[in-house]
Amino acid sequence: MKRILACIRACMQKTTVRFMLFYLVLVLMPAILFINVYAGNLHRQALREQRYEKQEALRLSSQYFSRALEEITLAADTLQSSTPLLTLLSGGYPSAADELYAYSAYIQPLFDSVSSIHPALDGLYLYRLYPSFIGNNGLVHNLCDYSELTYPRAAEGDCAFLAVSPEQYRHRADDNPTGARYIRLCSLYSSDYTQIVAVLELQLRLDDILQSVFPVSGGGQLYLGYEGTYYPIVQAGDAYHLDVEHPLASKPEASDETLLLEESAAELSLLWELPLIGSYGEVTNSFLLMVMLMLFSLAVFWLYILYYTRSISRFSRHIHATGAGMPKPYEGAIRRDEFGDVVREYNDMTRTIEELIASVQEAERLKNAANYYAMTSQVNPHFMFNTLENIRMHIELEKYDDASQMLFTLSRFLRYNISLREESSLEEEFEHARHYVLIYQYRIHHMISFHIRRDADVPSIRCPVRILQPIVENSLQHGITGQNHPIHVDVHAWRGEDGVYIDVTDDGCGMSDEAMAALNARMETANLRRQDQAEEHVGLDNVNARIKYFYGAAYGLHFTHASPQGVVCRMHVGLAKLPALKGGRST
């Protein structure tokens, strides 16, 4: 278990897994939850609205249906209130002419009027209990003999019922009626209400009512229920009619897929079986489909994340492979995005580090070379022997003060020269150069004029050790060559805007323009890693390289012609040391 937990914990550290968890927890699961809840609410609301809307529509239809069924009661009342009709039905007219006149003038218009009470009212028959002059031959089809009343329900008295086919209701022989009819039978009484004179039959064409009631939008199947039997209401073209051929013997059962609504209309009922707006099965399927789609999107997202983090993983493995050693540039494919920038920066950084390490190593090498050069130059036996021989001669000549002074100067010179310090100050450099000039004068008995001028704040500037003495030595050695007059070396240190300038000016023989240009070019391009150092100017190269190393590439040496003759060597040093070499290790 621990290993499994550890494995899981390790996996959790992976960027890909984190992305996936992020997608799952913050996107996928909330989305599924939200959609599930929201869609569920919408579905429930739609079902409520559907039920309410359809129930209301069915109720209105049922009301219209009921009203149509009830309106024919008005027809019965109208006929019951007609005295000419009741007189005719009672056999009260004395002659055929009187009866005919009553019929033509009152009763026939009355029948026409009653027939127009409702457009669905199609049949109006009066079954007479008493004979009359007219209505015996079918020409006046509204009048019939009581013996023709053959409905089984007639024995019940006033009643209403459904007749589904023309065989079940009265119609004229030459008519070709179709469809079901709603039949109402009621008695008509004599004017004094003492006896029944006729039975009134009113027929309503149900199909006509259906045309007015329907179409009810929303689809589904409508039924007309009567005494437990449900007749489908079907549409043929633009017309609706009752399908009496395929009745249902029992009420349809509601299911998860359907909504069953029912409204009664007199002896009839309207039943509406309509599909639910999105059955539960459809909702579940939709939900599963939605989850599948989101899982698919998750897989796509995962593949994308894999693709996206593949280079990160490789870079990570590259860094881990480097371990504690020297970082190496990443050589894999570098993308053109932010991560590519990081890798490029990393590669630049490793190269910079390599260069810095190399420069440090070079600086150390140069410093060691300078030290060696200084040591070798100072411990030159000829230099020492000449100097010591001069001192001895001064002693022989009993110039004890000069000898003493010379010994003192040599002592200070050697002490500074053999010092292993990395840094010094310009003041100490000035002093060291002055000691060198003094010793040099003792040695070659040549008249040398040496002056140092400096600004007040210049002496405290930090600088590499032993940078001025080689310059002065170079001026003396090259300036004095072939010269019989005293040589003047002037050191002038002054502070500029971008550092300190130290001009070492001699009035020696100078150098040609070509030599000076070559020397300046050498100084410009001189760097710390120059390997092809010639014997000539090795001291200048060393000084120039160490100044650049100490202050930066903008600093170093530059030579110009002095006026009227000689050379000016301008040393440009900074005000502060480069930060990279602060605290550098000394050797």
3-class SS at 198? strand
Cis-peptide, bond into residue 215, ω within 30° of zero: yes
**Are the beta carbons of 435 and 413 closer than 8 angstroms?**
yes
Q: Which stretch binds another protein (CB under 8 A): 100-108, 353-361, 546-554, 558-566?
A: 100-108
Single residue of 3, 5, 167, 174 touching another protein by CB under 8 A: 174
* Total residues interacting with another protein, rule: CB under 8 A: 22
Smallest gap, in angstroms, from Cβ of residue 98 to another protein?
A: 8
The β-bridge relationship of strands 487-496 and 448-454 is: parallel
Q: Classify burial at 103, counting beta carbons within 10 Å of its beta carbon; exposed 0-12, middle 13-18, buried 19 or more.
A: buried
Q: How far is the CB of 145 from another protein (least distance, A)?
A: 13
227 binds another protein (CB under 8 A): no
E strands of 66-168, at which residues?
121-128, 143-145, 159-163
* 141: contact with another protein by CB under 8 A: yes
Select from 90-98, 195-203, 335-343, 441-449 the region that touches another protein (CB under 8 A): 90-98
Name which position in 39, 134, 360, 509 contacts another protein (CB under 8 A). Answer: 134
Q: Which stretch binds another protein (CB under 8 A): 136-144, 181-189, 494-502, 505-513?
A: 136-144
Of the pair 103, 161, the CB lying nearest another protein is at 103
Give the whole-angstrom CA distance, residue 503 versus residue 521: 18
Whether the CB-CB separation of 277 and 42 falls below 8 Å is answered with no
Give whichever of 94 and 579 is closer to another protein, judged by the CB atom: 94
258 backbone dihedrals φ, ψ, rounded to 5°: -130, 160
Question: DSSP per residue over 25-73, as a string?
Answer: IIIIHHHHHHHHHHHHHHHHHHHHHHHHHHHHHHHHHHHHHHHHHHHHH
Region of 144-152, 172-180, 207-215, 312-320 interacting with another protein (CB under 8 A):
172-180
Is position 123 an interface residue for another protein (rule: CB under 8 A)? no
Using the contact rule CB under 8 A, the part of the chain among 36-44, 171-179, 271-279, 348-356 near another protein is: 171-179
Closer CB to another protein, 136 or 380, in the complex = 136
Question: CB of 342: closest distance to another protein in angstroms?
Answer: 33
CA distance 129 to 91: 9
How far apart are the C-alpha atoms of 526 and 294, rounded to whole Å? 66
Under rule CB under 8 A, residue 92 binds another protein: no
Does residue 45 interact with another protein by CB under 8 A? no
Identify the helix (H) or strand (E) that includes residue 428.
Answer: helix 426-444
131 near another protein, judged by CB under 8 A: no
99 binds another protein (CB under 8 A): yes
Which positions from 358 through 397 interact with another protein, judged by CB under 8 A?
none
Q: How far is the CB of 106 from another protein (least distance, A)?
A: 12
The answer to whether 439 and 413 are in contact (CB under 8 A) is yes
Shortest reach from residue 88's CB to another protein, in Å: 11
Interface pick for another protein out of 63, 104, 316, 411 (rule CB under 8 A): 104
Residue 96 found at the interface with another protein (CB under 8 A) = yes
Q: Using the rule CB under 8 A, which residue among 139, 321, 324, 534 binds another protein?
A: 139
Shortest distance, position 209 Cβ to another protein, whole Å: 21
Q: Which stretch binds another protein (CB under 8 A): 97-105, 211-219, 470-478, 497-505?
A: 97-105
Q: Is 105 in the site for another protein (CB under 8 A)?
A: yes
* CB 97, min distance to another protein, A: 4
Helices 338-378 and 400-417, packing angle to 10 deg: 150
Residue of the chain from 54, 58, 68, 103 that contacts another protein (CB under 8 A) = 103
Place of tokens 């100050």: 425
The two beta strands, 221-226 and 229-236, are antiparallel
Of the candidates 466, 238, 221, the one whose C-alpha atom is nearest the C-alpha of residue 368 is 466
| 60 in contact with another protein (CB under 8 A) | no
Between residues 105 and 293, which has the closer beta carbon with respect to another protein?
105
Among 5, 9, 95, 376, binds another protein (CB under 8 A): 95
Nearer to another protein, 104 or 565 (CB): 104
Choose the stretch contacting another protein; rule: CB under 8 A; options: 2-10, 118-126, 130-138, 266-274. Answer: 130-138
* Four-CA torsion 550, 551, 554, 558, nearest 10 degrees: -70
135/574 with CB nearer another protein: 135
Asked if 137 touches another protein (CB under 8 A), the answer is yes
Helix axes 426-444, 400-417, angle to 10 degrees: 130
State which residue, 57 or 107, has the beta carbon closest to another protein: 107
Select from 354, 543, 572 the least CA-distant residue to 464: 543
Decide: is 101 part of the binding site for another protein (CB under 8 A): yes
Selected binder of another protein within 138, 157, 215, 228 (CB under 8 A): 138
Reduced 3-state DSSP string for 515-571: HHHHHHHHHHHCCCCCCCCCCCCHHHHHHHHHHHHHHCCCCEEEEEECCCCCEEEEE
Q: How many CA atoms lie within 13 A of 81 on its CB side?
A: 8
Residue-level length of the chain: 587
Distances (CA, A) of 562 to 92, 455, 556: 164, 21, 19
Q: Which of 108, 284, 404, 449 contacts another protein by CB under 8 A?
A: 108
For another protein, the closer CB: 101 or 501: 101
* CA nearest to 199, candidates 68, 76, 70, 71: 76
Task: Provide the b/e sequence for 489-512 (b: ≥16 CB within 10 Å).
Answer: bbbbbeeeeebbbbbbbbbbebbe
CB of 84 to another protein, least distance (A): 13
135 binds another protein (CB under 8 A): yes
Stretch that binds another protein, among 22-30, 48-56, 99-107, 248-256 (CB under 8 A): 99-107
Q: Is the peptide bond before 564 cis (omega within 30 degrees of 0)?
A: yes
Q: Which residues bind another protein (CB under 8 A)?
A: 95-97, 99-101, 103-105, 108, 133-141, 172-174
